[in-house]
Structure 1
Amino acid sequence: MSPSDLRRRVRITLAALAAAVLVTTGAIAAVATAQNPPSTAQQEQGMTPGAPLAEPAVADADQAELTLDATKARVSVSGKEIWGQAYNGSLVAPTLHLEPGKTATITLHNRLPVATNLHFHGLHTSPEGNSDNPFVCVPPGASYTYRLAIPSDHQQGTFWYHSHAMGTSCPATSGTGSDGHTHSMSSAPFTPGDVENQIFAGLSGAMVVGDSRSSLPDSLRDIPVHTIALKDAQVDSAGKIVQGTAGASIDSNAPTVRLVDGQLRPALSMRPGETQLWRLANIGADIFYRLQLDGHTFTVLAEDGNEYPQATGAAELLLPPGKRFDVLVTAPATPTSTWLRTLSYSNGPQGDVYPDTPLMNVDVSGPAPSGVPSSLPVGTPLRGAAPDLSGAPVAQRRTLALSEDSSGTAFYINGRRFSMDQPTFDLAAKLGTVEEWTILNTAGEDHPFHMHTNAFQVLSVNGVPLVAPQRQDTVVIPHAVNGTPGKVVIRQAFTDYPGNWMFHCHIAAHEDNGMMGYIRVAGA
């Protein structure tokens, strides 16, 4: 038995003992089911794979005020009805489309029995007020209106949005926002959040800013585009998506069903020689994807919505929770069939082990369309990359140490669990400066580090420099090896937006249980 399996078995056993003392026989049976979850094949029974890819509906958030209803819902997954949570009734929420230089107005109606909110992951917009403010808490039965002013020079690419509920209730109100429904979480001791449960149940969707084809040559400006949103679902024997309980997170190493746009192994069609843009996004709660398109390579244009300086080839792509890539895929000149798959992957000796799993069939058939544009050669310069920070003057150097207890149930940054009232650093960052952060991981599993509000530049991973100066908002901090912590060095520019900028591990169970913090950003 691996250390991770042992820790999970201990947590489940403790939960079962507590259930035996405190609740009814029915609840004990539910815990027993969690000990022996259905296999992936059993969970897939009743689902029909192979239907044509049906992407989420697209909502233009800059055209009119949008409404998102967060509810418990019975949703269809490839023909099988299951219970989860949904925005507007769909397991994969509508894809929000925003335009640089415009303001998006989005009203969230909370029809859940617990508190919730929204985080617009990767957007460079204010973290305060009714913008992308994770400290907002919307209680059951309430509504809240977000207004996102997107800068005119915002990066164009793929982002996503999801619940960022830092608890199941709103502990305090510290003021009323412009819409009369602001509930700001403050003056509360650490309590586990509910991000994992809500994302895992279905409260997430893709988000696109502008159009990343705008940096391509004219011949590629109108190529087909597909949003490929990846999330998994553990479906219990009662047809419900599994949820964690107090003191026990979801077992992310348990059998699960991998879905593409909420479908089981859908089929995507291409014509011979055709080039398409795929917006790949991991919008799940906890697990990693190691993507490969059998027999082909990806031409990467952007990572986490941030354009590369030049087109880059990649045989495979690692997507921890929250990661996105904009890629070009070119079909071969002759008809064929192949698979987009997630390869087997382990995120450390104390982490999870995921099996090789086919995700989507790619069918190349029919005659080649006339005037098919060629693919983009690797190395072709792109126009929208952010400035290189490697030579910038550094105003402040900071260190973040990510750690967890031996049971894998409590998580820390610099030895502390998250506190709403206490920033991670006493010294605030100043607008107009560049800082260098060294992020250490002392645990036996990888931790994907995510920064709100800002994309950063990775300088090195475990001492190996990164040559390409691209920006990103999520990076995997490698696990410790023989007592030596994993180490990533980043730089970020605090160009605008005073307020509290949050950061955390994006394995949702880890942020829920303490691996989260924030830094105060003040005027120069």
Structure 2
Amino acid sequence: MRFASDKTSRPLLRRTALALAAVLVAVAGGTGAGSAVAASQPVPTTAEQEKGMTAGGPLRDPVDADASGRHRVRITLDAHRTRFDISGRGVVGQSYDGRYIAPTLRMEPGSTVVIQLVNHLGVATNLHVHGMHVYPAGQADDPFRCVPAGATATYLLRIPRGQQQGTYWYHSHAMGRTCPFRSAGGPDMTPPMVGDVENQIFAGLSGAIVVGDDRSLLPATLRHITAHTLVLKDMQIDRKGHIVQNTATTAINSDSPTVRLVDGQLRPVLSMRPDETQLWRIVNAGADIFYQLRLDGYRFTVVGEDGAPVARVTTATNLLMPPGKRFDVLVTACPRPGRAWLRTLAYSTGPQGDSYPQSRLLRLDVRGPRAARLPRVTGRIPTAAPDLRGAPIARHRTVVLSESADGNTFYINGRQFSGDDPSVFATPARLGTVEEWTVVNASREIHPFHLHVSYFQVMSVNGRPQPYAHVQDTVPIPYASHGRPGVVVVRIAFTDFPGRYLFHCHIGAHEDNGMMSFVNVVR
């Protein structure tokens, strides 16, 4: 079914979207485990997978990439099959430099970053700098680019001077239908592996990006506090000690038992002094699963989301982090020595999706001499993006997310993306304009909607207007319930880069199996 949404008036657009969504809800019965797209072998229990690991070591932040220069940075990423040491247990996966958590890339607004991607995998790959506002074609951030097995590719990223300071991430965006991604198999990869987004991120091909230093946006007393980068990833380990992969005979099932890691460590210990304030840059760099974060007895002070400073500082008890989500938060230790757990709470993505158990992630130890208590941060961060609530709207569009009843095939506006397809929109977007998109979830599981190149501002969720707090690049779309779809309305400013802007569900299995498209942006 094709959904011609880009030429319809707004009231009719809404009515048509809701009617279509109701039909799609009726046929999307669902089988659970929405990220499993083929029969998979049973995965050992979490306790069995953790056997041989030693929890409780001191937290070690990811290493920074070896780089040269401040305004012209050169980095080499060597993608290859790797045997990791995960808290004392050997596990086989894929890496960019021999570590399960890839090195953190440090960039400055206005700089040029040259990345040499060396592909020693048995399948094709590529690279995407998630959330970065860079050119989406050529040698820059082109997700349609294919780097064949054995090849080396140069990525040339010119970071705009106006790039927001904050936390981003990078990962393989190997869209398996755009070039030959399936390996022939062999001694190191038997049975043949599929090179796709889910497979390669899940195996280890992801890491954090830090642009500038967002501590510089805080009051002067907070500009030199300790900062940690906390990269959240999960792995499933089969009985041979390999990270589970999509192959010709099995598939990743994101509802299976999993080992949750912080910076590639099992339940590490982060130490703070009483009353000390730190900045935590938190990244969900996994392929499929959600985190519902809580730090027992504490609240998070949110100063950045998806790499952008917030318009107004807020506090939160929980942080919902679908795949691809980032938060920059301040945490102030209690005034007396003690311990607390950073945990992910039990969470369900819906009747057709996954159900995750509660899990401890990191232990906070408060000890040592008392630190000077710093003032609480409130109010507005000065460099926040402009509010689009009063912007003139050049075009309204609707994006309908749906899936088959068996949970194996996924659609946008009734179409399954399968390579270099045309856009679901007949009419391109124009630079210098603002558009309003209505994102409709007709399925019975949450889909994290992600847009490349540009941020968006959330205007409403299920009809409830949202105050302007920040811009973002990833938002969870509520699942359909009681015959009514989940609906999120966003506004997007198309500023200075023409090209194809991908948008998709950021659950790796869903985008790999069709829930992806793009909008053409022209001058």
**Does 2:65 match 1:59?**
yes
- CA apart distance, 1:59: 2.4
Aligned match of 2:520: 520
User: In 1, are the aligned partners of 2:33 and 2:255 still within 8 Å (CA)?
Assistant: no
1:204-353 equivalent positions in 2, closer than 5 A: 204-246=206-248, 249-353=251-355
Select the residue among 144, 152, 173 that pairs with 2:161. Answer: 152
User: In 1, are the aligned partners of 2:282 and 2:328 still within 8 Å (CA)?
Assistant: yes
**Does 2:51 match 1:45?**
yes
The change in CA–CA distance for 1:50 and 1:6 in structure 2 (over 3 A counts) is: closer
The change in CA–CA distance for 1:10 and 1:493 in structure 2 (over 3 A counts) is: closer
The change in CA–CA distance for 1:435 and 1:3 in structure 2 (over 3 A counts) is: closer
Aligned match of 2:189: none
- What amino acid is the match of 2:465? P
- CA apart distance, 1:9: 9.1
Select the residue among 109, 119, 133 that pairs with 1:100. Answer: 109
The change in CA–CA distance for 1:417 and 1:5 in structure 2 (over 3 A counts) is: closer
Q: Provide the rounded CA distance (Å) in 1 between the counterparts of 2:381 and 2:86.
A: 38
Q: 3-state DSSP class of the match of 2:283?
A: strand
Q: 3-state DSSP class of the match of 1:259?
A: strand
Q: Provide the rounded CA distance (Å) in 1 between the counterparts of 2:150 and 2:133.
A: 29
User: In 1, are the aligned partners of 2:37 and 2:509 still within 8 Å (CA)?
Assistant: no
For residues 305-333 of structure 1, the C-alpha deviation after alignment (integer angstroms, 9 at most, x for no partner) is 01111211001100000000000000011
User: In 1, are the aligned partners of 2:36 and 2:509 still within 8 Å (CA)?
Assistant: no
User: In 1, are the aligned partners of 2:304 and 2:329 still within 8 Å (CA)?
Assistant: yes
**What TM-score results when the alignment is normalised by the length of structure 2?**
0.89
For residues 403-439 of structure 1, the C-alpha deviation after alignment (integer angstroms, 9 at most, x for no partner) is 0001111000000011413112110000000000000
User: In 1, are the aligned partners of 2:35 and 2:353 still within 8 Å (CA)?
Assistant: no
- CA apart distance, 1:37: 1.6
- What amino acid is the match of 1:386? A
- CA apart distance, 1:384: 1.3
Select the residue among 141, 151, 168 that pairs with 1:142. Answer: 151
Q: Provide the rounded CA distance (Å) in 2 between the counterparts of 1:315 and 1:62.
A: 40
Q: 3-state DSSP class of the match of 1:109?
A: strand
- CA apart distance, 1:215: 1.1
CA RMSD of superposed structures (Å): 1.8
- CA apart distance, 1:468: 2.3
Percent of aligned positions that are identical: 57
Aligned match of 2:191: none
- What amino acid is the match of 1:114? V
Q: Provide the rounded CA distance (Å) in 1 between the counterparts of 2:265 and 2:475.
A: 27
Q: 3-state DSSP class of the match of 2:65?
A: strand
Aligned match of 1:176: none
Q: 3-state DSSP class of the match of 1:59?
A: coil
- What amino acid is the match of 1:488? V
Aligned match of 1:86: 95
User: In 2, are the aligned partners of 1:139 and 1:169 still within 8 Å (CA)?
Assistant: no
Aligned match of 2:448: 448
Where structure 1 has 5 or more consecutive residues not aligned to the other structure, the ranges are 13-30, 173-191
The change in CA–CA distance for 1:9 and 1:80 in structure 2 (over 3 A counts) is: closer
Q: Provide the rounded CA distance (Å) in 1 between the counterparts of 2:442 and 2:172.
A: 28
For residues 224-261 of structure 1, the C-alpha deviation after alignment (integer angstroms, 9 at most, x for no partner) is 00000000000011100001234864100000000000
Q: Provide the rounded CA distance (Å) in 1 between the counterparts of 2:83 and 2:224.
A: 37
Q: Provide the rounded CA distance (Å) in 1 between the counterparts of 2:102 and 2:172.
A: 12
Q: 3-state DSSP class of the match of 1:504?
A: strand
Q: Provide the rounded CA distance (Å) in 2 between the counterparts of 1:44 and 1:507.
A: 24
- CA apart distance, 1:5: 4.5
- CA apart distance, 1:3: 5.2
Q: 3-state DSSP class of the match of 1:471?
A: coil
**What TM-score results when the alignment is normalised by the length of structure 1?**
0.89
Q: 3-state DSSP class of the match of 1:43?
A: helix
**Does 2:125 match 1:123?**
no
For residues 337-368 of structure 1, the C-alpha deviation after alignment (integer angstroms, 9 at most, x for no partner) is 00000001001011000011010000000111
Q: Provide the rounded CA distance (Å) in 2 between the counterparts of 1:106 and 1:451.
A: 23
- What amino acid is the match of 1:152? R
**Does 2:430 match 1:430?**
yes
Q: 3-state DSSP class of the match of 1:213?
A: helix
- What amino acid is the match of 1:408? G
Q: 3-state DSSP class of the match of 1:287?
A: coil
The change in CA–CA distance for 1:5 and 1:495 in structure 2 (over 3 A counts) is: closer
User: In 1, are the aligned partners of 2:36 and 2:252 still within 8 Å (CA)?
Assistant: no
The change in CA–CA distance for 1:249 and 1:412 in structure 2 (over 3 A counts) is: farther
Where structure 2 has 5 or more consecutive residues not aligned to the other structure, the ranges are 1-28, 182-193
- CA apart distance, 1:118: 0.3
The change in CA–CA distance for 1:77 and 1:105 in structure 2 (over 3 A counts) is: same
- CA apart distance, 1:7: 7.9
User: In 1, are the aligned partners of 2:118 and 2:153 still within 8 Å (CA)?
Assistant: yes
Q: Provide the rounded CA distance (Å) in 1 between the counterparts of 2:505 and 2:206.
A: 17
**Does 2:389 match 1:390?**
yes
User: In 2, are the aligned partners of 1:114 and 1:169 still within 8 Å (CA)?
Assistant: no
User: In 2, are the aligned partners of 1:61 and 1:106 still within 8 Å (CA)?
Assistant: no
Q: Provide the rounded CA distance (Å) in 2 between the counterparts of 1:436 and 1:8.
A: 29
- What amino acid is the match of 2:171? H
For residues 6-35 of structure 1, the C-alpha deviation after alignment (integer angstroms, 9 at most, x for no partner) is 8889942xxxxxxxxxxxxxxxxxx6xx1x
| Structure with the larger RCO, 1 or 2 (CA within 8 Å, 6+ apart) | 2
- CA apart distance, 1:382: 1.1
- CA apart distance, 1:375: 4.4
Select the residue among 354, 360, 372 that pairs with 1:358. Answer: 360
User: In 1, are the aligned partners of 2:438 and 2:488 still within 8 Å (CA)?
Assistant: yes
User: In 2, are the aligned partners of 1:278 and 1:328 still within 8 Å (CA)?
Assistant: yes
Q: 3-state DSSP class of the match of 2:102?
A: coil
Q: 3-state DSSP class of the match of 1:511?
A: helix
